[in-house]
C-alpha cells in the first residue's frame, strides 16, 4: 500500500476554518490522503458554526478536536496550508519532512457579523470554497509533481472561490 499524502491545515485557533478544511478534505480526498488540522493558539473547542455547517453538508467530523500545531509538528507532513493571515505571519514549527507550504487566505466565519442566518450562510460559503479546492486538489498528480510545481498549483488553488 502506498503511503498517504499527509496534509495539514493551520489556523490560529483551530476552531472553525481549519476544522472545516480537515473534515471536508478528508471526505473529498479519501484514503489517498491523511488530513489533520491544528492551530498556533488552539481554542480548545470546535466552533458551533463549523459543526452546524458541516452537519448541514453531511460532512462527518468524527475524532476531530482543537489541537496545537506542536502536536503535529513531530509528524511527517507533505503539505502544510495556512488558512488565516495571522497564522501565516507567525513563525511556524520546523515541520518534519520539509513539506510544501502554501497560504489560502479565507475569512473566519466565527467573526462574521450579522444575524445567525447571515453567519450560517457565510460559513457555508467558506465551506463550499474549501470543497471546490479539495475537488481540484484531488485531481492533481501529486506523486509525480516537483515541489515547485506543487507549490504553484497550491497557490493557484488559493484563487479558487
Q: CA nearest 79: which of 12, 33, 31?
A: 33
Which helix (H) or strand (E) segment is 5 a member of? strand 5-11
Marked catalytic residue, from 15, 84, 102, 134: 84
84 as an active site residue: the answer is yes
Marked catalytic residue, from 7, 11, 29, 127: 11
User: Which residue reads 466565527 in cell numbers?
Assistant: 110
Q: Looking at 49-131, which runs of residues are DSSP E strands?
A: 79-82, 100-103
Q: CA nearest 11: which of 119, 110, 154, 151?
A: 110
Neighbours of 90 (CB within 10 A): 14
Residues 15 and 50: beta-carbon distance below 8 Å: yes
- Burial category of 108 from C-beta neighbours within 10 Å (exposed 0-12, middle 13-18, buried 19 and up): buried
Marked catalytic residue, from 5, 52, 57, 92: 92
Active site residues: 11, 84, 92
Amino acid at each position: 500500500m502506498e503511503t498517504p499524502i499527509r496534509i495539514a491545515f493551520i489556523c490560529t485557533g483551530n476552531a472553525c476554518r481549519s476544522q472545516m478544511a480537515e473534515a471536508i478534505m478528508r471526505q473529498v480526498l479519501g484514503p489517498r490522503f491523511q488530513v489533520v488540522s491544528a492551530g498556533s493558539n488552539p481554542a480548545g473547542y470546535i466552533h458551533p458554526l463549523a459543526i452546524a455547517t458541516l452537519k448541514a453538508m453531511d460532512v462527518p467530523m468524527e475524532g476531530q478536536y482543537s489541537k496545537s500545531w506542536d502536536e503535529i509538528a513531530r509528524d511527517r507532513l507533505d503539505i502544510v496550508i495556512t488558512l488565516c493571515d495571522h497564522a501565516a505571519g507567525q513563525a511556524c514549527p520546523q515541520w518534519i519532512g520539509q513539506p510544501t507550504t502554501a497560504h489560502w487566505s479565507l475569512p473566519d466565519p466565527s467573526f462574521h457579523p450579522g444575524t445567525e442566518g447571515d453567519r450560517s450562510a457565510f460559513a457555508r460559503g467558506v465551506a463550499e470554497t474549501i470543497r471546490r479546492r479539495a475537488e481540484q486538489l484531488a485531481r492533481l498528480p501529486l506523486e509525480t509533481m516537483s515541489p515547485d510545481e506543487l507549490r504553484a498549483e497550491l497557490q493557484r488553488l488559493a484563487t479558487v472561490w
